Amino acid sequence: MAKTALVVGASGIIGSATAKLLVEQGWRVHGLARRPQAQAGVQPLAADLQDEAATAAALRDLNPDAVFITTWLRQDSEAENIRVNGAMVRNLLDGLPKPTGPRHVALVTGLKHYLGPFEAYGKGTLPQTPFREEQGRLDVENFYYAQEDEVFAAAARDGFSWSVHRPHTVIGLAVGNAMNMGTTLAVYASLCRESGRPFTFPGSAAQWSGLTDMTDAGQLARHLLWAAETEAAHDEAFNVVNGDFFRWQWMWGRIAKWFGVKAVPFDGTVRPLEQQMADDAALWRTIAEREGLAELDLSRLASPWHTDADLGRPIEVVTDMSKSRRLGFAGYQPTDDAFYALFEQLRAERLIP
C-alpha cells in the first residue's frame, strides 16, 4: 500500500518540489496551503494554520505516514515571527489525529539557525564557518527555535520521529514567495537587458569574494524524503546544501552571460536591489504586457529585500554536510546548473521574457 504524505506549504518553492518528488515516488500526497494551487497528483487541502479550529477540521480525516512542514509567515518583528510561526506548527501538530502507526515529521528551517533572525542578521558573535549541526543555538530569540520546540514537544507527546532540515538560500520556482533569490535575479537581469542598465552586483565584499553555497529545491526535497525513509536519520537535525562551493564574482558572470547582459564587478560600494529595483514596477508591466507574460506584478515575482539580506552579509557562509554524508545521503547538485534549470523553467512558464 502506498504511503501517505502531508506537505504543508505545498504551493511554495520547497513544498511544491517536495510534493512533486513524492508523487513521482508513488506516495499519496495531500498538499496543504491557505490558497492551494493545482499540482499533478496532489490532493489539495485549504487551511490557515493560524486558525486552530479550521486547521483541525481540515486534518481530521488524515493519518499521514510523513508530514513535511515547509511554510512560514513573515511578521514585522521577531517576537511576532515567534508567536505566529510557533502557533502555526503547534496548531498543525495538535490538529492531526494521533498517529496509529509510525509517523515522521520533517521541519524545514534554514541557516538563520546560525546567523540569527532578520533583526540581527549576520551581526554580533557568530559561529565559525562552515556551519555544523552541533553548533548550539544563538543567545537571541529566533522563530526557528520556536518551531523546533513545538515539533519536539509534539513528538514527545504523540510518539512520532522528526527531522530538522537547514538549507541555505533555496533555488526553485514559486510565484508570490517571500524568499526567492533565483527568480529575483532573473527578473533583475531581464530588467537590465530591457533598459540597457548594467547587471550590478548588489551585495558586500565578503559575498563577492568569499565562498558560499546554496540549496536547490529538488536537492532539498530528496533530502527530506531520505530522512523520512532512513531510520538512522530520525530525531536529528541536518544542514542541506547542493554540495558545491562558489564565489559570487564567478557566479555573477555566469548568470549575466545566460541573460546576455553586462556583469559589473563589485567596486566596493553596496548597491541593494531594493534601491536598484525601486522604480521598476511600471517597466516590468510594460515588458510583461508586450511579451504576454503570466505575471504583470513585479512584487509577486521579485523579493529584493531577501536577496539583499543574503548577498549583503559581512561574512562568507559555507555549510558542512558531513552528518548527512556519513548516514548515506549522496545527493549533489551544481549550483550554476540549478540556476540555469530555474531560468529555463521560468521562461517555459512565461514568467520571464
Alpha-carbon radius of gyration of the chain: 20
- Strand, helix or coil at 238? strand
Cell of 346: 521560468
- Running DSSP on this structure, what letter comes out for residue 265? P
Cell of 84: 505566529
Residue among 112, 114, 145, 188 flagged as catalytic: 112
| Structural element, H or E, at residue 166 | strand 161-167
DSSP string, 83-111: HHHHHHHHHHHHHSPPPSS--EEEEE--T
- Strand, helix or coil at 68? strand
Q: How far apart are CA 124 and CA 221, in angstroms?
A: 32
Specify whether the CB–CB gap between 318 and 245 falls below 8 A.
yes
Is position 144 annotated as part of the catalytic site?
yes
Q: Which of 182, 170, 195, 167 is nearest to 282 (CA)?
A: 195
Residue among 20, 114, 144, 188 flagged as catalytic: 144
Say how many Å lie between the first and final Cα of the chain, rounded: 44
Cell of 203: 551585495
Q: How far apart are CA 246 and CA 234, in angstroms?
A: 31
Q: Which of 343, 15, 317 is nearest to 165 (CA)?
A: 15
| Active-site annotation, residues | 112, 144
